[in-house]
Amino acid sequence: MTWTDPVTGATGHLVVHSLVSGMATGGTRMRAGCTMTEVEDLAFGMAAKTATFDLPIGGAKGGIDFDPKDPRALGVLQRFCEAMRPWIDGHWVTAEDLGVPQHLIDEVFANLGLGQSYHAAISKAADPRATLERVRAGLDAEVGGGLLGDVIGGYGVAQACLGAAAAWNWAIEETTVAIQGIGTMGGGAAWYLHEAGMKVVAVADAVGTLYDPAGLDVPALLDLRDSYGEVDRAQVPAHVQRLPRGAVIGIEADVLVPAAISYAITPDNTYDVAAKVVVEAANAATTPEAEAMLTARDIPVIPDFVANAGAAAWAWWLLLGQVGPDPADSFRKLRTEMAAKVGLLLGRWIGDGVPPRHTGWELMTADREVPPLVIP
């Protein structure tokens, strides 16, 4: 479906790829230039995530072609959600995505009298009030000064990177990583990889790439971010190199994590990639043509529907009562699931040369008995 904002003329899209148990899940993004084709790709990716992680729902995605930094953005988002109300009321569970933080979309849902962006699922719960309380407790659980709902996706990406290192028996402290994007997903991944002992040598935001071959002080850099995930260069140590934004793709590192925009790796820059493995933290981060070129160079790509599925899977584990507000339980479950899946994907790549996406597709399309949607 395509919608035009009567106030600004902005265009929005909702794509429902599939319904399972009458439900589909997928975030809402906002960026200038967002297209229907992009939202279609993302909706397919969400369907792949839910199938790969055995969740009893289908996939969908919302996208709005508008600058999230524009002061009118909140109004545009609210009018889009109002227009999609029939789906939001009964079928589509949405959440944060690029340009739309969770607190903002929750503000919109509260303004619409819907409580929280998981409204469609919560309204089907046996005890909606208790489910809403459980969801809010999980999203707002504190972890190291942040909120569990904000960091869980990045934690999952970090576990995918650690799983890649384990597949090749790399020593964690000797493994290097470059991360494009240090917003919610990329910043969370950087934090947990740094905490695990992996050397983050480069990060890129909208301004440019920061590079230190000896390893960046990730916690200090994250503290210098503004609300748009951009680092205050005036406070960055002088020894840290300032490079162009696109330079992060070609940094010499073991792992490259595109965690910013879709289609970041294309045929035009694929030969710049110097990493040994690409872990997609952004949705549709690599075009199919670029991924084929990387595969031909023996550089595997861990697909987004595995590597960055942690936030979506965790949200449904929370809704289904499989985890609660204790972060340790959520981290343990996601760590176990991600290690198993990345281990399988890279085991087949190392042993038989099967691209990880192909193995992921096999997981996604395997005959399975979908459990009934029962939300306590």
Cβ pair 99, 70 in contact under 8 A: no
- The lowest-confidence range among 87-101, 162-176, 354-368 is 354-368
Q: Tokens standing for 190?
A: 């950087």
Please give the average per-residue pLDDT across 171-192, as a whole number: 95
What's the pLDDT band for 208 if we cut at 50, 70, 90?
A: very high
| Coil, strand or helix at 145 | coil
Report the distance separating Cα 100 and Cα 108, nearest Å: 11
Please give the average per-residue pLDDT across 370-374, as a whole number: 81
Higher-pLDDT residue of 3 and 229 is 3
Query: Burial level of 84, CB count in 10 A (0-12/13-18/19+)?
Result: buried
| Coil, strand or helix at 14 | strand
What confidence score (pLDDT) does residue 373 get?
87
Taken in order of first residue, the domains within the chain and their CATH numbers are: 2-124 (3.40.50.10860), 149-365 (3.40.50.720)
What confidence score (pLDDT) does residue 364 get?
83
- SS3 of 68-117: the string is CCCCCHHHHHHHHHHHCHHHHHHCEECCCECCECHHHHHHHHHHCCCCCC
Cβ pair 231, 221 in contact under 8 A: yes
Report the distance separating Cα 304 and Cα 46, nearest Å: 9
Characterize the bridge pairing of strands 255-258 and 58-65: unpaired
Per-residue pLDDT tens over the stretch 33-91: 999 999 999 999 999 999 999 999 999 999 999 999 999 999 999 999 999 999 999 99
* CA 164, chain centre distance (Å): 18
What's the pLDDT band for 298 if we cut at 50, 70, 90?
A: very high
Q: Mean pLDDT score of the chain, rounded to an integer?
A: 95
Please give the average per-residue pLDDT across 220-234, as a whole number: 91
What confidence score (pLDDT) does residue 64 get?
98
Per-residue pLDDT tens over the stretch 319-358: 999 999 999 999 999 999 999 999 999 999 999 999 999 9
Cβ pair 78, 107 in contact under 8 A: no
What's the pLDDT band for 204 if we cut at 50, 70, 90?
A: very high
Please give the average per-residue pLDDT across 129-135, as a whole number: 94
Per-residue pLDDT tens over the stretch 85-106: 999 999 999 999 989 989 999 9
Per-residue pLDDT tens over the stretch 255-272: 999 999 889 999 999 999
